[in-house]
Amino acid sequence: MNGNFKKTNRNKPEQYTGTHPEHILEYNERLLRTDKPQNKTSLDITGVQWYPGHMKKTERLISKNLPLVDLVVEICDARIPKSSRNRMLDTILGQKQRILLLNKSDMADYDATRSWLEYYKKLSIPAQAADCKSGKGTGAILPLIKQTLADTKLKFSTENFGGIIRIMAVGVPNSGKSSFINCLAGKKSTKVEDRPGVTRGKQWISVGDNVQLLDMPGILAPKYNDPAAAEKLAFTGAVKDAVVNTELLAMRLLELLYDKYPSSLKNRYKLTVDFAAENEQEPLGYSLLTKIGKNRGMLISKGEVDTERAAIMLLDEFRSGLLGKITLEHPHA
C-alpha cells in the first residue's frame, strides 16, 4: 500500500492522506472502482457495516408496537426518495396503513418532488412533501392521515383508546423524524441534530387533537446491494461519516453534482465554465475537490490542499442545502 495511506481507527476505513490522483486510484479496490475512460471514480460502500445492535432492536420494537397504531408515517428524504425508503419496512409493516412524507423538500428540486408525488399517486400511495424545520407543507399531514384512515374499512385503535388515533413515525437515520414530531407537536419534544442516531427509545407524543404518535429510532436495512443507493444515503448523512471515507465520498458527490447541477457548483465555488475539459488529465472528483479546497484557502504545508477538510465542508454544505435545491434521483430513472 502506498505510503500516503494510513490506518485511523477500527471504526473508520483506511484514509487517504496524500494529494496525487494516482495514489487515490490505488485506494482499496473494495471501496473504490475507477472508470478511466470516463475519468470518474465510484465509491462502493455496500460492504460497510452500518447495522449495529440498536437497529436490530428497533426492528423488533416496530414489530412489537405495530398492533397499537392505526397508521405509519414513513419519512424519507425528498432529495433521495427511493434510496431513503427502507425496503425492510414493506415486510415489517405488512398491510398496515401508511403514508409517505417527503421531508426536507425545501432542499430538493421542486420539479423532481412534484414528479415523485405524481408517481406515488399513480401507485395509490398517499404522499406529502414538507419541510419540517420551517413547517412548510406540514399543515396537510394530519388531514392526510385522517383522510387515509377514513378511506379504509379497517377497525382502528380509536375503539380501544377513547377515540385517540395512534400513529407511528419510521424512517432511515437523519431523515428528519425529530423535526417532523417537533413541528406537529409545536414544541421541542425530541432532541434534533443534523446527524444520524440522535433519537433513542420509545416515546408517545401528542401531536394534535386526539392524535398520538409513537416515535421509533432510525433504521437502515442490514445490507444494500445497490452501491448507488448506499452512496446516496452516505451523501445525505443517513450513514455515519465515521464508517466511510469522506474524501472519496465528497469526490463522488462532486462528480454527480457536476453532471446534474453544474451551475450550482460553479456559482458556489467559483469554478470556470469549462472546468472538466481544463482538467481532463485528472479524475474529475479529485480535481473538483482540490480546486474547491484551494479556492476556500484550505491549504496545509507546502501549499497542498487539505482534502479532508475540503470534503467535510462540501458534505456539510450539501446536507444543509447551501448548494441549492438538488434531487439525486428521479422516478423511472
Q: Is the pLDDT of residue 290 over 80?
A: yes
Domains of the chain in start order, with CATH, are 5-49+224-319 (1.10.1580.10), 53-215 (3.40.50.300)
3-state secondary structure of 169: strand
* pLDDT, average across residues 77-83: 96
User: What is the residue-wise DSSP string for 293-326?
Assistant: HHHTT-B-GGG-B-HHHHHHHHHHHHHTTTT-S-
More confident residue, 186 or 146: 146
45-49, 74-78, 164-168 — which is least confidently predicted? 45-49
Average model confidence (pLDDT) for the chain? 79
Q: Is the pLDDT of residue 300 over 70?
A: yes
Q: What's the pLDDT at 150?
A: 85
97-111, 174-188, 307-321 — which is least confidently predicted? 174-188
- Return the C-alpha torsion angle 273, 278, 281, 285, nearest 10: -20
Q: What's the pLDDT at 328?
A: 97
Q: What's the pLDDT at 319?
A: 96
Q: What is the side-by-side order of every strand in the sheet holding 127-129?
A: 127-129, 97-103, 71-77, 165-171, 211-215, 203-208
More confident residue, 53 or 71: 71
* pLDDT, average across residues 64-84: 94
* pLDDT, average across residues 79-97: 89
pLDDT tens digit string along 230-267?
Answer: 899 999 998 888 888 999 999 999 999 999 999 999 99
Cβ–Cβ contacts within 10 Å for residue 286, how many?
25
* pLDDT, average across residues 44-51: 53
Q: What's the pLDDT at 263?
A: 94
Cα gap 216→239, rounded to integer Å: 17
pLDDT tens digit string along 206-238?
Answer: 887 788 898 887 777 766 678 888 899 999 998
Cα gap 132→178, rounded to integer Å: 9
- Chain-centroid distance, C-alpha 89: 17
3-state secondary structure of 165: strand
Q: What's the pLDDT at 79?
A: 97
Cα gap 315→306, rounded to integer Å: 15
More confident residue, 17 or 300: 300
pLDDT tens digit string along 134-161?
Answer: 999 999 999 999 899 887 755 555 555 5
* % the chain with pLDDT above 70: 74
- Name the residue among 254, 276, 274 with its Cα closest to residue 264: 254
Q: Can you say whether the dihedral through the CA atoms of 176, 180, 183, 188 is positive or negative? A: negative
Q: Is the pLDDT of residue 105 over 60?
A: yes
Strand-strand pairing, 165-171 and 71-77: parallel
Q: Can you say whether the dihedral through the CA atoms of 143, 119, 73, 131 is positive or negative? A: negative
Q: What's the pLDDT at 227?
A: 83
Q: What's the pLDDT at 220?
A: 74
Say if residues 317 and 268 touch (Cβ distance below 8 Å): yes
pLDDT tens digit string along 2-21?
Answer: 333 333 333 333 443 333 33
